[in-house]
Structure 1
């Protein structure tokens, strides 16, 4: 008998984290489901650690390193459930998580269910971590259960949709925009991302400014790949590749100023810390955007 829901988790060299996440899924009740972990060329014994769980609902797929999109696509190809949940390996679900996803799909059959993810307090002690926590949760703060998050609301850290509606991810050369590119295709098919308020998951990834800046710079470069796939005016404005957007960003977020902020970081101790972090992230994105043009 086919399961009601397939959980697809891509992972690479994060054995301890993915085992914790999978364990939290296997502890879910009230739902017939399967968990498919795609080990994307790990070298830290990930598959062996997962195999020790010995649960018939768990399938581990090993593949040579192919990237996040390839791993997600491999999991989708193996999925048998009526619904597919793409979940990052550091998104640890709370009890009732899968029931909340299925509950939303019963009310909105043609929607994508977006998890209510949050950064645990223990992961947000330093200034940048506090900023990142506030930033990542801002998009859903105050929203009611089932709220439509808008055509920019597609991020696949933890998201489910009908397997009939699911499409494969386009592989990008670097980090950034893969989820949004798929979201753009789904939105144009009429699929709307809706918040599953009861589907809470802890994002157990300790944020750092250096990693965030590198990702933002990569996203700036990948914006061009997104636009080449979909040369639409809204995509140009959304990603910033539009000439007017690029001119504005070049003037408003010069990398020279960002370097000054990174050299003397005493501002992090003051009330303007969040403003400084926002500028740095925008400057890093702009830098990548201009490099990719």
Structure 2
């Protein structure tokens, strides 16, 4: 029987997280599927962990380390299902996950189905984790099953779409915008991202302020690669590369203030911590925008 879903999981050096995610997918029922894990040059115990699964629905591809886009593209090329579901190795699906994706596709045949991910309590209760949890879930809070998420709603960390409309990812030189760039292309083809509210999955990523500052700064730099691929006014405004947007961000989010906040972090225990976190991340993104202009 041909699979209804081809689940593509790229991974790099996260053996234990990967084991939880693969185990949760292999426990899904009610829908024929295959799981394609693309090991992007891992040097940890990933090969041994994958060898421990004895299930014909699991296929493993290995390649030299080439990045997330390359790993996803390799899995896409091997997909045989009616739908391809991209799922990061730290996003653990709950029971009924694939059935919920299928139900949304039947309701909206040409849509991309975005999973309802959440950051579980076990990831942590530190101030920044609580901030990130609230921020990550704000985009879907209060939305109904099948709600349209707009052109920025393509979150390929856990998203499915008909195999026939799927396209390859463009590798970026750093972290950021690869998913949105493909989403922009799909949106212009008429594919709309919709929330699969019942497709719940725990995002087990242990975030920290330092890591997210680095990622935000890279996002700012990579905004220019996105814009150069798609020099559209909406992309310029969306990413902030537009001259007026950059001028505003430079004024509103000075990097010097962010550096002071990062040096002395006693403010994290105060009532204004969430606002300070937002400022620091915006300042990091702005700094990346300014750095990437001539890159």
Q: Normalization by structure 1: what TM-score?
A: 0.99
Structure 1 outlier segments of 4+, above 2 Å: none
Aligned mates of 1:62, 1:195 — CA distance in 2: 32
Q: Which runs of 5+ in 2 are unaligned?
A: none
Q: Which residue pairs with 1:111 in the alignment?
A: 111
2:228 is aligned to 228
Quote the residue 1:142 is aligned against. 142
> How much has 1:48 moved relative to structure 2?
2.2
* Paired position in structure 2 for 1:162: 162
For residue 86 of structure 1, what is the aligned residue in structure 2?
Answer: 86
Counterpart mapping for 1:1-293 below 5 A: 1-293=1-293
Q: Which moved more, 1:46-55 or 1:92-101?
A: 46-55
Deviation of 1:267 (Å): 1.1
> When the two structures are aligned, how many residues end up with a matched partner?
293
In structure 1, distance between residues paired with 2:91 and 2:254 = 34
| Alpha-carbon distance in structure 2 between the residues aligned to 1:146 and 1:258 | 38
Superposed CA offset, 1:214-255 (max 9, x none): 000000000000000000000000000000000000010010
Deviations, residues 174-230 of structure 1 (Å, cap 9, x unaligned) = 000000000000000000000001000000011100000000000000000000000
**Counterpart Cα distance in 2 of 1:232 and 1:190:** 17
Q: In structure 1, how many angstroms separate the alpha carbons of the residues matched to 2:15 and 2:102?
A: 28
User: Secondary structure in 2 aligned to 1:122?
Assistant: helix
Separation in 1 of the partners of 2:276 and 2:223?
A: 23
> What is the CA–CA distance in structure 2 between the aligned matches of 1:36 and 1:7, rounded to whole Å?
6
CA contact (8 A) 1:51 1:60 kept: no
When the two structures are superposed, what TM-score results if normalisation uses the length of structure 2? 0.98
CA distance in 2, matches of 1:171, 1:91: 22
Q: 1:266 Cα shift?
A: 1.3
Unpaired runs of at least 5, structure 1: none
**Helix, strand or coil at the partner of 2:131:** helix
Post-superposition offset of 1:58? 0.1
1:6-60 alpha-carbon deviations (Å, 9 max, x no partner): 0000000111110110000000010100000000000012122112111000001
- CA distance in structure 2 between the partners assigned to 1:276 and 1:268 by the alignment: 8
